[in-house]
Amino acid sequence: MESNSGDWSKSEIEQIILWLEDSINLCRTQKGSGETKKHQISVIISRIPSCS
């Protein structure tokens, strides 16, 4: 698979998966949690080195 600068690396994807596997973080993504999608995305992006 060819990658370009817009693609996430395998380690970046693994970071997202690890974040979502945390039960507290997973609950925050559920409807009715009170967390906005914008906030959830900003938290996830902060865990990706190439985005920060």
Tell me whether residue 5 is in a domain: no
Tell me whether residue 46 is in a domain: yes
CA distance 52 to 45: 7
CA distance 31 to 43: 17
Report pLDDT for 5.
53
| Residue 47 belongs to domain spanning | 14-28+36-51
User: How many domains does the chain fold into?
Assistant: 1
> What's the pTM?
0.49
CA distance 1 to 42: 28
Tell me whether residue 1 is in a domain: no
Report pLDDT for 50.
67
pLDDT in tens, 1-52: 444 456 778 888 888 888 888 888 777 777 777 878 788 788 877 877 666 5
Report pLDDT for 4.
47
Tell me whether residue 2 is in a domain: no
Distances (CA, A) of 6 to 9, 24, 36: 10, 29, 24
